[in-house]
Amino acid sequence: MQKIFPPLLLALLVYACSSMMKVEESNGIETSSDRSTKSSVDKTSLTRQTLIQEAKKLTGSKYKYGGTSPKGFDCSGFTSYVYNKAGMDIPRSSSAQAGKGTKITQGAAQPGDLLFFRFKKKDNISHVAMVLSNDKDGMQIIHSTTSKGVMIEDISTSKYWQEKLLFGRRYVE
C-alpha cells in the first residue's frame, strides 16, 4: 500500500493542477504573452488617440508659411508639432516625413497616419495631412491649408484631393 500511495497521490496532484489551469484559462486569466500583446496594442491605440486629440485641439489655427506653433502652422509644421505633443519626433519637412515610417496605401490608412500629396506633376511632395478616420463613411483628414488654416476635411469624395494623393506613411506601429 505504501508503494502505491505516493504515485497515486502524484497522479492526482498533476490531474488537479491541469484541471485548474483549464479553469483559469476559461475564466479569462491572461498569460504573460497575452499581456505583452495587449500592452503593445493598447499603447498603439493610446498613441493614435493622443495624436487625434492633439490635432483636433488645433482646429482653427491660422496658416503661416514655415509655422510650427499654434500661432500659425504650415502643413508639415502642423504634423511635426502634433507628433511631438504625443511624444514622438518626426522630421520637420513634408518631404522628409514622406521618407520615414512605413509606406501604406490609402485603404490601409488609420487614425494618426500621414498622407502625402503633390499639387503639380513636376513637384515631389507638396502637402501632408493626418488621417482622423478611414471607414465606410469616408476618410477624414486634418491639415493646415493656406486658405483656412488647420481644418478637418472629408477627402474620400473630393476629386481635388484624390487626384493629388500619392501615398501614406505610418509612424505608429
Contacts of 79 (CB under 8 A, 6+ apart): 90, 94, 97, 114, 128, 129, 130, 143
Per-residue pLDDT of the chain (173 residues; tens, 9 = 90+): 555 545 544 443 344 444 433 333 334 444 444 444 455 557 788 899 999 999 999 999 999 999 999 999 999 999 999 999 999 999 999 999 999 999 999 999 999 999 999 998 877 899 999 999 999 999 999 999 999 999 999 999 899 999 999 999 999 98
Q: What is the CATH number of domain 32-170?
A: 3.90.1720.10
DSSP string, 44-96: HHHHHHHHHHHHHHTTTPPB-TT-EETTEE-HHHHHHHHHHHTT----SSHHH
Contacts of 84 (CB under 8 A, 6+ apart): 90
Reading the block at residue 82, the C-alpha cell is: 502634433
Among residues 84, 173, 80, which one has the least CA distance to residue 128?
80
pTM value? 0.76
Enumerate the domain spans of the chain. 32-170
